[in-house]
Amino acid sequence: MTSATRPVERPRPSPAILRQGLRVIWTGIRQQQRMFAVAVVGSVLWASATVATAWAIGHVTETEVTPAIEAGEVTTGGLWTIFLVLLAVLLVNMTGVVLRRVAASIAGFNLQALYRQRVTRQYLRLPLSWHHAHPSGQLLSNAHADIEAAWQVFNPLPMAIGVIVMLVIAGGQMIAVDPFLALIGFLVFPGLFAANLVFQRFMAPRITKAQQLRAEVAEVAHESFEAGMLVKAMGREQEETDRFGRVTNDLRDSLIDVGRTRGVFEPVIEAIPVLGTLAVLAVGTARVASGDLTAADVVEVAYLFSILAFPVRALGWVLAEIPRSVVGYRRVDSVLQATGSMEYGEGQLPQTGPAHSRSEQVSYAYAEPAERAVLGADAPVETTTQTPVGPQRAMAIRDVTLDVPAGSTTALVGPTGAGKSTLTNLVLRLVDPDDGTVSLDGIDLRTVRKGGVPDVGTLVAQQTFMFDDPVRDNVTLGADLPDEVVWDALRTSRADGFVSGMPGALDAVIGERGGNLSGGQRQRIALARAIVRKPRLLVLDDATSAVDPAIEQDILGGLRESSEGMTVLVVAYRMATIQLADHIVYLEQGQVVDQGNHDELLARCQGYGDLVNAYAREAAERAAVAADEEPTR
Amino acid sequence: MSTVTRAAAPDDERGAASSEIGGSHDLSTWATLKRGFQLSPELLRGLWVTVLLALFATIGKVLIPFVVQQATDHGILAEGGPDVDFVVRAVALAAGAIIFTGLAQYVVNVRLFKAAESGLATLRVTAFRHIHDLSVLTQSTERRGALVARVTNDVDTISMFVQFGGIMLLVSTAQVLVATILMAIYSPILAGVVYLCVIPLVVLITKFQPMLARAYGAVRVRVGDLLGAVSESIVGAVTIRAYGVEDRTQGRIDGAIEQHRVAAIRAQIRSVMAFVSGQAFGGVTTAIVLVVGTVLATHDRMTLGQLLAFLFLVNLFTQPVQQATEIFNELQNAVAGWRRVIGVIDTPADVSDPGEAGVRLPRGPITVDFEDVDFAYPGGDRVLQDVNLTFDPQSRIAIVGETGSGKTTLAKLLTRLMDPSEGRVLIDGVDLRDVAFDSLRRRIVMVPQEGFLFDQSLLENIRFGRPEAADEDIELAMTELGLDPWLAGLPLGLATQVGQRGESLSAGERQLVAIARAYLADPDLLVLDEATSAVDPATEVRIQRALEGLTRGRTSVAIAHRLSTAEAADVVVVVDKGRIVEVGHHAELVGAGGVYTRMHNSWAAQQR
């Protein structure tokens, strides 16, 4: 299974993680300067107000409450003073909290949104070969869970900054009281920090593992749900559940492991300031006994320790988030840094007339799974487009030269797995060849501007993909076209009949998996999608395999009528389709074996003859067998 | 917010034939929790031990400030100078308390993590299994990405609450009770004042809860949409590139990202408001207690010391109440996730396994009967009507008809991927609905047109048909199917990795794997739905012969456009616009002048 075959990467804890974490935080701050500034202002307000609360209670007790009790009477003004002073501090505190928390969360969610946009832009920009090397579930998890992990740290961060302000105030006060007691403080708080560092070193690898397993759980779920019908048809629900159960249990164990580590460190980190307070008491008492300090001084320092004990934990939260943040960011960054995207030039393709496509000595091999990268692994993510051709890599296309003259209809014929689909992908630059060049109208496709090739050439793939949209949008793909044009295209692909019968017709939502449409119906909508764009080069990759013969004939007839100004490259098995072609190219095992017209190939190419005559021969043999059996009945 | 329900037909037109995956929006917080705990019994197992330990740890935490205060009052401030011995004894005692508290805290943490993660793992697996148990129709009402969210992110949201929130709530309640008792002892009047102050907070919180619930619910839905949109950009990568619609796709994703961002911030602002109202309660209560306490003290109803002590108790009281507002936020977040998971688990499986009560049929030749079968997709027109058919054991049936005539629906009914709206389908005289799934799936296997491949080796993909098959069995099957020449063309043979969804293979090759898989499964009834549509004719003929030779003794049903299949069949069933219009042998039908004659003529014309 996938999770077993791919090693789960587990970076060793490194002291560098804090530095990396600070760098991630700095990256985030730079991009959300304003919100972050607001949050920090809020945090400083909150921190000051927190320290001031203790002061305010002391102050009103001293100036209002005690005198009133001693006098045995209280004025309304006095009561108002008590109430309003406390209320004022409270309001400052609340304002600080609101600013801090709201701005911090806005900054965090803005960052999440920003990185989601960047990551998904990469998904759309990176070549298909990159997609082949990265499981969908992983990519899904990257766009959600990893980005969340990377920026979660922004929630406790402003509070931690406020705490630092508090510590500075408190440190000053302590030094003013007694440098000797302050020394305890300066031992305790760095001690806290050191404990946190150790904590992180233990946490980082565990969290990395958990995050990877999270992605694997998503991966298994995604794959299994995609295979939903197969799982049902084969009655493999239990086996799939077991498979999912295994990764889920791995994730569970890994999260419990995280919890155990956390469970050890949390009480330790909580205990340190308390121990500090106790040390202050013990040492302080001795200093009071020796006459160096007053009792009030000790109480003040002890009190400072106790009010800091809780907020100081915010520093711990930030430090605890850092490994997760680093791991998440690393995984996100590996997608953002992934190279091997398609390079585009500035070239323009002509916009009118049929296109002339030529592939010159092209070779292409698919990436083998050994080259598949784990997101965020320490090793650099490899560029999957130009990986060296190893002995294990299956060459899908080898040294093929294919010329499709302008205005012609050329058929690609060959046995299953001969490389026909790969060749169609190369012709429209869905992938770049490892060797050789592909051109349209003499212009190397690699020099054409982005979007230039899809404007001119259109592929109808064997397997149709439907968007979760109404029929109309599935045909126009967002282009602003009048309904008549859409209906025209649907008519040409013979899809008008069943579409008009659907509730809502063009407005009927098809759904991600093509809803209740049959394979042939989906293919016809996909054909309409291509036809409506009036391409100069139309590539049909066995695009009518699920359409019945009579309708296919209709469609091809319709296409022929409307195909003036169009070059057609068609992958086909059916004799009638092949016979529509001016020129036939016969492929076997990724190489061109022969080309010419039907009669020429039939005369001299054995493989071609075997292929196209298979049905006829079969029928003849059956007829012969039937004839033999007849008399014996 | 009902973006979770997606289907070909508008909602109001949907019939009752299939269920949609629910969000359980109507489930109350309490009912959600109850159902949640029921689904994850691990969460409550041994909880009382954890609670006791947590209480012990809390007592420890309260004890420490007490010791510190004692050490201050009676040690440092002792009459006649500081009492160093007393302070050292107190400090040693406190240090001991810290160790015990810390140990208890550690055990509590580990127990909570274990219980939470075990419970949630169970929940994930239960939900995952149930999604597979839902009918294909129900599954297709939701996008894959959103389904994945139900077993991943939605469950993740619950974990925070069940790890800490729940237990904190219990401990906080205990602390509030203790503080209340102490406050009442010190000053019943001031205790009354504190409780008067709580009332507006309780009103506010009860107001906030539904708002928070809605906000968090919206976030969960947005996460589902977001993952759905991202998933589309990944799964549809080829189409998006071929048509150069990256910008449009990005626009949709950006829309989903923005909606999620807005929803998440809105939920966060609401939760901050809830928190701040808790804070306001704490501050205002302290101020009022100080004011009222001063008045009481001037009337000799209490001393200054008692007033200051009472302020400490107020803090002991307001602190957990404030914390509770935070926990309620987390609770609503968890409940929002829980609702979505429970929503999927409680969606009835409309095509369900009769289970233990089901009939188990012995292996052997199989008979199939369709009795007055009608089928309509929810909210759609009838796609099959008045189907009455009998397939004899060991016969080879070909089903032909135009695209969309209802052939695939027939196959799905026959394999019980769906149940008929009317009438029944029987095998060996038993209604399919009464046959246990394990027996049914062993006897009937379908090869769909677009067979799915897992991201594994060819070998493992084929083994999916019969998990216990040895490598040799698989090799033998490939030889028997005549697929050796194809395998020979692959450098790694059966060890070839097929990639995501089998994308490293062509559509035709994927079909070869699907057929090998079904062949290995060795069913009594093999249903081929356009299973070789993308395979080249020579290979197809080879496979067909192999299947024929080896399907003797079993019944086979093939749906095909290539009428060569029909010519070879014992019985041809012609479907037209949802009705069976002709049944008979090729030789009889081809000259009958009906639909089949027309189809055959057009097909034959193509072969010339």
Task: Quickly list DSSP for A138-164.
Answer: HHHHIIIIIHHHHHGGGTTHHHHHHHH
Q: What angle do CA A581, A587, A589 make, to 5 degrees?
A: 160
Contacts (Cβ under 8 Å, ≥6 apart) of A545: A462, A523, A573, B507, B530, B533, B534
Is B243 a residue whose pLDDT tops 60? yes
Average pLDDT of the residues in A317-338: 84
Burial of A202 (0-12, 13-18, 19+ CB in 10 A): middle
- What's the pLDDT at A340? 66
Q: Residue A515 has what DSSP assignment?
A: T
What is the amino acid identity at position B48?
W
Contact B568 A622 (CB under 8 A): yes
- Return the pLDDT at B25: 61
For chain A, where do the domains classified as CATH 3.40.50.300 start and end?
Answer: 407-432+453-620
C-beta neighbour count of B75 within 10 angstroms: 26
Q: Hunting for tokens 């008519």 — which residue is that?
A: A491
Q: Do A222 and B145 touch (CB under 8 A)?
A: yes
Q: Looking at residues A509-526, what average pLDDT do you find?
A: 78
Q: d(Cα B245, Cα A92) in Å, to the nearest integer?
A: 52
Q: And the tokens for B348?
A: 């009835």
pLDDT of residue A383: 35
Is the pLDDT at A386 greater than 60, yes or no? no
Residues of B whose CB is below 8 A from A519: 403, 408, 449-450, 530, 533
User: pLDDT per residue over A285-300, tens digit each?
Assistant: 888 888 888 777 777 7
> What is the per-residue pLDDT for A375?
58
Q: What is the pLDDT of residues B48-104, one digit of tens each?
A: 898 888 888 877 776 766 777 677 777 777 777 778 888 888 888 888 888 888 898
**What's the token pair of residue B63?**
């004890």
Can you tell me the distance from the alpha carbon of A316 to that of A305, in angstroms, rounded to the nearest whole number?
Answer: 16
| Nearest-angstrom CA–CA distance, A368 and A360 | 25
Closest CB to B88: pick one of A282, A368, A468: A282
User: Does B465 contact A at CB distance below 8 Å?
Assistant: yes
Strand partners, A273: none
Q: Does the pLDDT of residue A392 top 50, yes or no?
A: no
Residue A228 structure tokens: 């939903």
Question: Contact at 8 Å (CB) between A564 and A484?
Answer: no
The packing angle between helices A179-226 and A295-309, to 10°, is: 10
Mutation site, A3, A114, A140, interface B, largest B CB count within 10 A: A140
φ, ψ dihedrals at B530, nearest 5°: 55, 40
Start and end residues for every CATH 1.20.1560.10 domain found in chain A: 2-336
Q: How far apart are the first and last CA of chain A?
A: 54
- Chain A nearest CA to B242, separation (Å): 6
Token code pair at residue B567: 């010519």
Instruction: Please name the residue of chain A whose CA is at the shortest distance from the CA of residue B376.
Output: A516
Interface test with A, best of B5, B249, B345, B403 (most A CBs within 10 A): B403
Question: H/E element holding A133?
Answer: helix A128-133
pLDDT by residue (tens digit) across B132-187? 988 888 887 777 778 888 898 889 889 878 887 877 777 788 778 888 888 898 88
Least confident interval from A222-231, A360-369, B507-516 = A360-369
- Check residue A96 and give its pLDDT: 94
- CATH class, domain A407-432+453-620, is alpha beta
A117 contact residues in B (CB cutoff 8 A): 250, 253-254, 257
Mean pLDDT value across residues A521-531: 89
Q: What are phi and psi of A401, to 5 degrees?
A: -115, 120
Q: How far is A597 from chain B (nearest CA, A)?
A: 15
Highest mean pLDDT out of A507-521, B124-138, B444-458: B124-138
Q: Are B151 and A284 in contact (CB < 8 Å)?
A: no
Q: Mind listing the pLDDT tens digit for each residue in A86-140?
A: 999 999 999 999 999 999 999 999 999 999 999 999 998 888 878 877 877 788 8
Tokens of A47: 């921190």
Asked whether the beta carbons of residue A576 and residue B605 sit closer than 8 angstroms, the reply is: yes
* Pair of tokens at residue B162: 């069940």
Residues B134/B138/B139/B145 CA torsion (nearest 10 deg): -130
Task: Judge whether residue A196 has pLDDT over 80.
Answer: no
pLDDT digit string (tens) for B346-387? 988 888 888 788 888 888 888 999 999 999 877 777 889 999
Q: What does the buried/exposed string (b/e) look like for A558-584 if buried means 16 or more CB atoms within 10 Å of the residue's CB? A: bbeeebeebbbbbbbbbbbbbebbebb
pLDDT at A39: 94
Among B108, B157, B227, B241, most A C-beta atoms within 10 A, so best to mutate, is: B241
Q: Is the pLDDT of residue A461 over 50?
A: yes
Report ipTM for this prediction: 0.84
Backbone dihedral angles phi then psi of residue B436, each to the nearest 5 degrees: -60, 140
| Contact residues, B window 56-85, toward A, CB-based 8 Å cutoff | 64-65, 68, 71-72, 75-77, 81-84
Q: Do B227 and A614 touch (CB under 8 A)?
A: no
Whether chain A has a CB inside 8 Å of the CB on B585: the answer is no
- What is the C-alpha separation between A202 and B43, in angstroms, rounded? 27
Residues 6+ apart with CB under 8 A from A344: A446, A448, A449, A450, A452
Contact B102 A270 (CB under 8 A): yes
Tokens 């995952």 found at: B128
The type of residue at A442 is: G
CA–CA separation, A332 and B161 (whole Å): 27
Write the residue in B381, B535, B561 that is nearest to A549 by C-beta: B561
Per 3-state DSSP, what percentage of chain B is helix, strand, and coil (rounded to 5)? 65, 10, 25
Burial class (CB in 10 A: 0-12, 13-18, 19+), A265: buried
For residues B495 and B493, give the distance between their C-alpha atoms in angstroms, rounded to a whole number. Answer: 5
Q: How confident is the model at residue A14 (pLDDT cuts 50, 70, 90)?
A: low
pLDDT, greater one: B518 or B259:
B259
Question: Best interface-test mutation with A: which of B136, B243, B284 has the largest number of A CBs within 10 A?
Answer: B243
Whether A256 and B248 lie within 8 Å, measured CB to CB: no
Q: Which residues contact A354 (CB under 8 A, 6 or more apart)?
A: A406, A407, A408, A536, A537, A565, A566, A567
The amino acid that residue B39 corresponds to is: L
Q: Give the CA distances from residue A247 to residues A243, A552, B90, in Å, rounded to whole numbers and listed in that order.
A: 7, 46, 51
**Helices B84-133 and A237-289, interaxial angle, to 10°?**
170
**Contact between B82 and A66 using a beta-carbon 8 Å cutoff:** no
Lowest-confidence segment of A19-28, A172-181, A216-225 by average pLDDT: A172-181
Q: Which residues contact B195 (CB under 8 A, 6 or more apart)?
A: none
Contacts of A328 in chain B (CB under 8 A): none
Those of residues 296-325 in B touching chain A at CB distance below 8 A are: 297-298, 300, 304, 307-308, 311
Q: Spell out which residues of chain A touch residue B90, defining contact as CB-CB under 8 Å.
A: 281
Distance CA B466, CA A530 (A): 40
Q: How many angstroms separate the Cα of A220 from the Cα of each of B164, B391, B450?
A: 29, 38, 20
B105: confidence class by pLDDT, cuts 50, 70, 90: confident
Work out the mean pLDDT of chain A and round it to a whole number. Answer: 82
For residue A116, what is the nearest residue in chain B, using CA coordinates? Answer: B257
Tell me if B404 sits within 8 A of A518, measured CB to CB.
Answer: yes
Count of CB atoms situated within 10 Å of the CB of B304: 16
Q: Would you place residue B607 in the very low, low, confident or very high pLDDT band (cuts 50, 70, 90)? A: low
**Which of A326-330, A462-466, B101-105 has the lowest average pLDDT?**
A462-466
Contact across the interface for B241 and A454, Cβ inside 8 Å: yes
Q: Which of A215, A156, A170, A209 is nearest to A55 (CA)?
A: A170
Contact A87 B300 (CB under 8 A): no
**Does B548 score more than 80 pLDDT?**
no
- From CA B216, how far away is CA A107, in angstroms rounded? 19
Q: How confident is the model at residue A415 (pLDDT cuts 50, 70, 90)?
A: confident
Mean of the pLDDT values across residues A421-450? 89
**Best residue of A111, A122, A225 to probe chain B, by most B CBs closer than 10 Å:** A225
Query: A47-59: per-residue pLDDT in tens?
Result: 888 878 877 887 8
Q: Which chain A residues are Cβ-neighbours of B88 within 8 angstroms? A: 282, 285
Distance of alpha carbon A540 from alpha carbon A533, whole angstroms: 14
Q: Which two tokens stand for residue A428?
A: 């429209």
CB of B360 less than 8 A from some CB of A: no
- Confidence (pLDDT) at B129: 93
User: Two tokens at B69?
Assistant: 């205060």
Separation of alpha carbons B298 and A74, rounded Å: 7
Q: Identify the closest residue of chain B to A101 by CA–CA distance.
A: B272
How far is the alpha carbon of B68 from chain A, nearest alpha carbon, in Å? 7
Residue type, A68: A
User: For residues B443 and B557, what is the distance between their CA atoms, to the nearest angstrom?
Assistant: 13
Residues of B (517-546) whose Cβ lies below 8 Å from A: 517-518, 521, 530, 533-541, 544
Q: For residue B514, give how far its alpha carbon lies from the nearest alpha carbon of chain A (Å).
A: 9
A-contacting residues in B 226-285 (Cβ below 8 Å): 226-228, 230-246, 248-251, 253-254, 257-258, 260-261, 264-265, 268-269, 272, 275-276, 279-280, 283-284
DSSP, residue by residue, B39-91: H-GGGTTTHHHHHHHHHHHHHHHHHHHHHHHHIIIIIIT-TTS--HHHHHHHH
- The answer to whether the CB atoms of A545 and B261 lie below 8 A apart is no
A373 CA to centre of own chain: 14
What's the pLDDT score for residue B19? 61
Q: Which CATH superfamily is domain A2-336 in?
A: ABC transporter type 1, transmembrane domain (1.20.1560.10)
Compute the count of residue pairs across chains A and B with CB atoms less than 8 Å apart: 550
Q: Are A448 and A347 in contact (CB under 8 A)?
A: yes
Do the Cβ atoms of A69 and B304 come within 8 Å?
yes
Q: What average pLDDT does the segment A204-212 reach?
A: 84
CA distance linking residue A488 with residue B348, whole number of Å: 42
